[in-house]
Amino acid sequence: MSVTPPKAAPHQRATRTERAILQATREVLIEAGVAGLTVEGVAARAGVAKTTVYRRWSSKEELALAVLLEVAEEIVAVPDLGNVRDELIAFVNGAVEILRETLMGRVMRGLVSDFASNEGLGQAFREQVVSMRLAEVRHLLERGIERGEVRPDVDVALVHELLFGPVNYRLLLTGGELDGQLAERIVDAVLPGISSEDASG
């Protein structure tokens, strides 16, 4: 069944009730993961009626996504570090750390099939998580172009996929370690294909 994307406000503008519901969702996800998440359980833990939850989120998947979006907001923009390599490593590593050390990785694994089968949920994830990450990659590459480090004709969307594809592949398929050197290895594999002649020469 398709659902509409979550409509609750971001946590900084959320009402007290919404904050209580999202905190309860976090706690249940920590204890039981997406498989053990229920609207009834969240409502009981938050001290609200089920109808109160359903007025804001229509399913447990939407609740899990709402928490995922909160965590994704913690991935901040990368400051000017003087070169595109260091900036891309910092950005990819920030995502790796959040996936490794917070609920985001666990929720992603629990929701990945829903993103594929549920149009509304997938759209919300793309619009609120993927687009934010893509915009930051674009910003970093444009900064690199201005410095003469990156080719002006670089395919931003493809670079974004090349940078984060290996991370998601390990997270969702192989179970490979999201270690502290992963971001550096990925960036060093991608960079030769996007560097300008001046930078690579």
**pLDDT for 201 beyond 70:** no
Please write the tens of the pLDDT for every residue from 33-87: 888 889 999 999 999 999 999 999 988 888 988 888 887 777 667 889 999 999 9
State residue 169's pLDDT score.
Answer: 92
Q: Enumerate long-range contacts of 80-84, CB under 8 Å, 24 or more apart.
A: 80/143, 83/144, 83/147, 83/149, 84/140, 84/141, 84/143, 84/144, 84/147, 84/149, 84/150, 84/191
Q: Is the pLDDT of residue 105 over 70?
A: yes
Model confidence over 13-31: pLDDT tens digits?
A: 568 999 999 999 988 888 8
Higher pLDDT, 105 or 143: 143
Between residues 101 and 156, the one the model is more confident about: 156
Question: In degrees rounded to 5, what are phi and psi of residue 77?
Answer: -65, 150
Q: Alpha-carbon distance 130 to 150, whole Å?
A: 22
Whose structure tokens read 């089968």?
117
Lowest mean pLDDT among 6-10, 147-151, 185-189, 195-199: 6-10
pLDDT in tens, 134-176: 999 999 999 999 999 999 999 999 999 999 999 999 988 888 8
Look at residue 67 and give its three-state secondary structure. Answer: helix
**pTM of the full predicted structure?**
0.76
